[in-house]
Structure 1
Amino acid sequence: MTARVALDVYTTRVPMARSFAHAAHARRWSQSVLVRCTVGGVTGWGEGAPRAYVTGETLESVTHALLTARLPDWAEVFDGSFADGVRALASLGLPALLGGSEAPAPAAAAALETALLDALCRAHGRDMAEALAVAATPGVLRDAPRVRTSALVLDSSRTPGELLGALPSEALAHLTHVKVKALPDPWPTRELVDEVRAFVDPRRTTVSVDANGCWSPADALRAAALLADRTAWLEEPTRPRDWATLGAVQRDTGCPVMLDESAVTPADLDAAREHAAATYVNVRVSKCGGLLPSLRLLAHARARGLRCQLGVQVAEVGPLWAAGRLLAAWSDDLVAVESGRQDEWFAPDITEPPYAVDRVRHRAPPLAGPGLGLAPAPRLPLTHAGRVPVTPTTPALTTRTSA
């Protein structure tokens, strides 16, 4: 190998300016694992945002997975051409490699993969969009980027009046989608949706409800009946992968279902299709294991007749946010895009460059490269957890993911 790859693992916890709460969890701090990849004089950064209620991962489990896994020396990624390096990285099944086939670790994989991709792009002077183009199935990406209007998310820490009532008329006019975090009971959730609808023009602004898997099957069916004529879709209305209930929601109430916690791998989408349990899928980079697995999930969803939303993990602190903006701009046929509230939750100087969101037009453009185009700033508090061990040979490269 021509250049030695060093992978350092960091954890970070940053207080948020206000809380974010929903039926599954309340958050006042960011909680991310960052990986720094140093190779050939360049540095790339990656991030994973472990959320126990999403993938079962924690800050501790992700750190442990990264520091104890048997990983290759990355010669196939960094010693050949740019395209060969992207393809070599895309061929690895990193979530299973880091967590095992029975308990994969997608947030850990996202931190590692985005760091390696960022470093690879920087080493070759390439924008990350060029890496996506190498790895993507035809038809998944656009021919040119498009900055989409981001959805607003109403969580339980604010009322519709506090979120929507505070917006200037121009900002309301540009709004195309509002996601409402569900309350524990379906009836108050419907009342909350009606409050939201009173602020927006239904001819240009759709509304969805996200239960984060917290309703019982009976409540999910009751909620779907109450909300079918008020919402564009109901996201994760009951416990993950309860295919029978999810199918019944669509069949018995006519309310479309969006999968989130239930949709991590292509196999999840196959199961959903078998039970007619979904119409939409929420794709999130950390949940899916990185940018390249997210591309595969987008392609698989399209092949199964499912449309996608590009979502975020709450309180991403940098590289994940940049990765999401990139994927949002280049992915084709998305029903909605989320960009998070990082510019409101955190001080502007924890990333270089700072977060930039147009809160009137609800737009968050992708960053200029090379790579992701963003790095942690010195003010971001990082705790060094250790260096990822690398084996002298490449046994892990025999573990491949399907194309």
Structure 2
Amino acid sequence: MLSVELYEARIPMGRPFRHALKARTASASVLVAVRGEGADGWGEAAPREYVTGESVESVVDALARVPLPGAVAELDRLPLDEALAVLVGLRLPEVLGRGGEPAPAAAAGLETALFDFVCRRHGVAGFRALHRAGFGDVLAQEPAPAPVATVLDLGRDPVAYLAALLEADSALIPHVKLKAGPDVAEAAALVGRVRALLPAATVSVDANGAWETDDVLKCAGELTEAGLSWLEEPLAPRRWRELAALRRAGLMVMLDESFSSAQDIRACLDHQAADLVNLRVSKCGGPLRLLTLARTAKAAGLGVQLGVQVGEVGPLWAAGRLIGTGLGSAVAVEAGRQDEWFGPELTRPAYHVDRRTSRAPALSGPGLGLEPTPELLGRCVPRAVRKVGEDQ
């Protein structure tokens, strides 16, 4: 019988990360261990109330109490391809949700752990398993080091940071994402200065929903002339008609907090509200659900970015790395800055990005290729244990 163990991880960050809605100083994750005969699988939920309405407490409650589909209890007995088909078919965000609201962060924690468990039980690398699960149409044939974006928050001077890099290193940065404060004109000026330093990179601005439509429209020309590549989540979530007005003003728009489901893609298309969507494992409901949404976005003519939640401590960044090393169609791939935020002792292998080349290598081994260390688990608070199938 499978068991599910939950651990609350609140690990202080070595450097705060600030954007328009939040200053984060510690992780806020739920580690999920799925244990069965012959293997353990690991997952992670990173709930953010301003993104999906979920919290650490709501995730723990959902994963500890909500009855799971009966097929989950069979995963430790099924052949690989059948088990993967079961995982792809689960609707975990809806199953784990309450009051008609889905719970994608909780679902991501469980789906990631179940996927890792199935892969480890059969001794299969995660990338191969994603292909066998039917995602060869959105993934490359083989993983390769991912060219990763440089994300600069409000606690850092982007121009000073980029100017301090060696010219050879900065020339390899494929994309810069600038977190924005409330002043749209100030953001436009900053884009221009970054463009002067990195003329070959794409440059986006992420306002985290903090701007007002009129302010953006007044500065649309300045943003375009400064060399802005796209604007990420400029307005409060799901203001579809106003987002469409920004596009008519000549701006490319990316959805982030406004997007976590196929329903959001349909609403976006109905209003012609965006050009791109930001895919994040915890926001989308897990790696398999993310790839399903990537396929839907591709069919709809929308570009995709692979994003992260700030403060992912282990399984989540490994799941993102797994996808990022094969999602060649992404306009940008984020990989976090765990090397600044956390010590290397939290996971085996430790987090690594080659900052000189802006490349994130693939992990090796079965499943996600990563395990939390005893040091990490020793800093977590055990929250719950459940036996899968006892509530069926």
Instruction: Report TM bin, short chain.
Output: over 0.9
Kept in 2, the 8 Å contact 1:68–1:389? The answer is: no
Write the distance in 1 (CA, Å) between the matches of 2:99 and 2:121. 32
Deviation of 1:199 after TM superposition, in Å, equals 2.0
Count matched residues. Answer: 388
Shift of 1:257: 0.4
More divergent stretch after superposition (310-319 vs 144-153): 144-153
Is residue 317 of structure 1 aligned with residue 309 of structure 2? no
**1:18 aligns with one of 12, 15, 19:** 15
What do residues 355-384 of structure 1 show as CA deviations (whole Å, max 9, x unaligned)? 111000011112102110111112211110
For 1:85 and 1:224, locate their aligned partners in 2 and report how far apart those are by CA, in whole Å. 49
Structure 1 window deviating more from structure 2 (166-175 vs 131-140): it is 131-140
Change (3 A) 1:299 1:306: same
Match for residue 80 of structure 1 among 74, 78, 81? 78
**Counterpart in the other structure of 1:227:** 223
Which residue identity lines up with residue 114 of structure 2 in the other structure? Answer: L
Range 295-304 or range 60-69, more displaced: 60-69
Structure 1 residue 162 displacement after superposition: 3.7
Report what 1:358 is aligned to: 354
Alpha-carbon shift at residue 137 of structure 1 (Å): 4.5
Q: Tell me the equivalent position of 1:126.
A: 124
TM-score, length of structure 1 as denominator length: 0.93
Unaligned runs of at least 5 residues, structure 2: none
Where does residue 295 of structure 1 map in the other structure? Answer: 291
Q: Cα offset for 1:153?
A: 0.7
CA drift at 1:65: 1.2
**Equivalent position SS for 2:305:** strand
User: How far off is 1:101 after superposition?
Assistant: 6.3
Amino acid at match of 1:143: Q
For 1:180 and 1:382, the matched residues in 2 are separated by: 32
1:51 equivalent to 2:51? Answer no
What residue in structure 2 maps to residue 243 of structure 1?
Answer: 240
Matched residue of 2:5: which SS? strand
Corresponding residue to 1:94 among 62, 80, 92: 92
Alignment deviations for residues 271-311 of structure 1 (CA, whole Å, 9 cap, x no partner) = 11111111111101000000011011100001100111111
Q: In 1, Cα distance between the equivalents of 2:126 and 2:237?
A: 32
Q: Give unpaired runs (5+ residues) of structure 1.
A: 395-403
Counterpart residue number, 2:172: 174
Structure 2 equivalent of residue 183 of structure 1 = 181
Q: Distance in 2 between matches of 1:113 and 1:388?
A: 16
1:70-124 deviations in whole A, cap 9, x for unaligned?
A: 1245233221110100110111110111113621111111111111111111000
Give identity over the alignment, percent.
49
How far is 1:208 from its partner?
0.5
Q: Alpha carbon RMSD of aligned pairs, Å?
A: 1.5
CA contact (8 A) 2:108 2:281 kept: yes
Partner of 2:107: 109
| Partners of 1:291 and 1:306 in 2: CA distance | 19
Give per-residue Cα distances to partners, 1:244-280, cap 9 Å, x unaligned: 01111001x1111011111100111111111111111
Give me the whole-angstrom Cα distance separating, in 2, the residues matched to 1:64 and 1:223: 44
User: What amino acid maps onto 1:164 in structure 2?
Assistant: L
Pairwise CA distance, 1:206: 1.3
Q: What is the alpha-carbon distance in structure 1 between the residues aligned to residue 386 and residue 110 of structure 2? A: 10
